Amino acid sequence: MSEANNNATSRREFIKTTGGIAAATAVAGAVVPHVHAAEDNTIQVALVGCGGRGTGAASQALSVKNGPIKLVAMGDVFENRLTKSYDGLKGRHGDRVDVPDDRKFIGFDAYKKAMDCLKPGDVAIFATPPTFRWVHFTYAVEKGLNVFMEKPVTVDGPSTRKILALAEKAKEKNLKVGVGLMVRHCRGRQELKSRIDDGEIGDIIAIRGYRMSGWRGAGPKPEGISELLYQIQKFHSFLWGSGGVYSDFYIHQIDECSWMKGAWPVQAHATGGRHYRGDAVDQNFDSYAVEYTYPDGTKLFYSGRNMAGCPNPFASYVHGTKGSAIVSTHAHAPGKVRTFEGQILDDATARDPSLARDKAKMLWAYPQPEQNPYQLEWDDLIDAIRQDLPYNEAKRGAEASLVTSMGRMAAHTGQIITYDQILNCEHEFAPGVDKLTMDSDAPLQLKEDGTYPSPLPGLVKNREY
């Protein structure tokens, strides 16, 4: 039995034992004895990457209600981010945040030091920019730690191959791994998936996804920060850091649409371009239009845009031979999932079905209010750890990240890109990301004209920049 498994077993035993004591005590009317073993039953958590999402994920971890849990270590490359995160978490969770100064770590090796505070069976949270995911996951698997890691978990072909291999090792060690594609844990979407599988809207003929906003890329680097730290701070702007906005933002809908379809797309054909740049120096396109093809020929039409002054749909829809469904109405939560007899027309119909009553009759709607999927993904992970249930989302997370990169590469190169091509692509965006120090050069260098290399579809065809 693995160490992690052993630990989970003792937790199960503990729950049984303490349950027994409490029941017996109630009968006898005696005082519940102090249970020293409670300490062993505590799941310890380390947070690596103390920004917005990391702080949120730690807070959700500490809010799981099925047993003692505490945050014991934190790591970041920016001290001010760690301090802000610590102050917020401490204020909200009090004693469950047990992170004295000597368990707060700053630097590119902070992840090791933070995880060294854990024992097998505890949980490490990775919420740094995605480029570091395989580096941190490697160490967690080596140490026998359970993991919650934010999406995307890879940014290119080489990092996907690394995470897929690590996913196998984690499985062999019976580690529990959650990946922050929280929509998969939304109870409404889960019911929608069963309804689609049961044929409520017939055979799927097309799927649509949209994520649009006025997001702006990073401007030129200011004085007082190194090139490396600037690119890390502005990771959405640089493909090595995050896979760009395409990977970092669009993965959710590409994943939820593919989940509804029950397959990963096998190829992508795409257009995209840069329009109004202002002083933005990032590597992203301003718009993306991608046609993904599933193994049976069904298409997912995905549109992304980063441009102010336009409508900003953030939604996904499935169309079937008998009807249609809304997977996301606007943003991730609440999903407000619904099915219709007939076809939903457009975004307005999605928001207000009464607008299309003659064309599409609503069949079913998930009851409101919905539970928060960011909490549900933690409830599910901690439950699996305490009960030692199989739980490993790493492979699925890597596949979702890969098909997302497939669409991005298709737009950036102007070529049709297949699943095998992106998986076997040799362009590694950040070789040596595991060896970075505060003094390292950034993986992306400015060109002589002061701009960063950007995609040139049709001109550069086998790599994105």
Ligand X SMILES: NC(=O)c1ccc[n+]([C@@H]2O[C@H](COP(=O)([O-])OP(=O)(O)OC[C@H]3O[C@@H](n4cnc5c(N)ncnc54)[C@H](O)[C@@H]3O)[C@@H](O)[C@H]2O)c1
Segment near ligand X (CB under 6 A); pick from 1-9, 34-42, 66-74, 77-85: 77-85
The size of the interface with ligand X (CB under 6 A), counted in residues, is 26
Should residue 265 be labelled a site residue for ligand X when binding is judged by CB under 6 A? no
Should residue 52 be labelled a site residue for ligand X when binding is judged by CB under 6 A? yes
Should residue 244 be labelled a site residue for ligand X when binding is judged by CB under 6 A? no
Tokens describing residue 77 = 């490359």
Question: Residue 75 carries which side chain, given as an amino acid letter?
Answer: G
How many residues appear in the chain?
A: 465
Q: How far apart are the first and last CA of the chain?
A: 47
Q: Which residue is nearest to ligand X (CB)?
A: 51
Minimum distance, C-beta of residue 85 to ligand X, in the bound complex (Å): 7
Segment near ligand X (CB under 6 A); pick from 46-54, 62-70, 297-305, 317-325: 46-54
Question: Quick one: 49 or 188, whose CB is closer to ligand X?
Answer: 49
Minimum distance, C-beta of residue 182 to ligand X, in the bound complex (Å): 6
Should residue 127 be labelled a site residue for ligand X when binding is judged by CB under 6 A? yes
Minimum distance, C-beta of residue 242 to ligand X, in the bound complex (Å): 7
Q: Which burial class, exposed, middle or buried, applies to 351 when counting CB atoms under 10 A from its CB (0-12, 13-18, 19+)?
A: middle
Question: Residue 431 carries which side chain, given as an amino acid letter?
Answer: P
Should residue 76 be labelled a site residue for ligand X when binding is judged by CB under 6 A? yes
Should residue 81 be labelled a site residue for ligand X when binding is judged by CB under 6 A? yes
Question: Residue 448 carries which side chain, given as an amino acid letter?
Answer: E
Question: Quick one: 129 or 457, whose CB is closer to ligand X?
Answer: 129
SS3 state of residue 317: strand
Residues 463, 429 contacting (CB under 8 angstroms): no
Residues 334, 318 contacting (CB under 8 angstroms): no
Question: Quick one: 259 or 294, whose CB is closer to ligand X?
Answer: 259
Q: Which residues pair with 338 in a beta bridge?
A: 326, 365
141-160 positions binding ligand X, by CB under 6 A = 150-151
Question: Quick one: 83 or 343, whose CB is closer to ligand X?
Answer: 83
Residues 347, 321 contacting (CB under 8 angstroms): no
Q: How far apart are CA 385 and CA 91, in angstroms?
A: 27
Residues 412, 285 contacting (CB under 8 angstroms): yes
Should residue 316 be labelled a site residue for ligand X when binding is judged by CB under 6 A? no
User: Quick one: which of 8, 45, 50, 281 contacts ligand X (CB under 6 A)?
Assistant: 50
DSSP class of 326: E
User: Quick one: which of 71, 77, 186, 381 contacts ligand X (CB under 6 A)?
Assistant: 77
Q: How far apart are CA 115 and CA 45, in angstroms?
A: 9
User: Quick one: which of 121, 178, 180, 209 contacts ligand X (CB under 6 A)?
Assistant: 180
272-291 positions binding ligand X, by CB under 6 A = none
Q: What angle do CA 151, 154, 156 make, to 5 degrees?
A: 140
Minimum distance, C-beta of residue 111 to ligand X, in the bound complex (Å): 5
Q: How far apart are CA 378 and CA 356, in angstroms?
A: 37
Should residue 366 be labelled a site residue for ligand X when binding is judged by CB under 6 A? no
User: How many CB atoms within 10 Å of residue 180?
Assistant: 26
Minimum distance, C-beta of residue 160 to ligand X, in the bound complex (Å): 15
Residues that bind ligand X (CB under 6 A): 48-54, 75-78, 81, 108, 110-111, 127-130, 132, 150-151, 180, 182, 232, 248
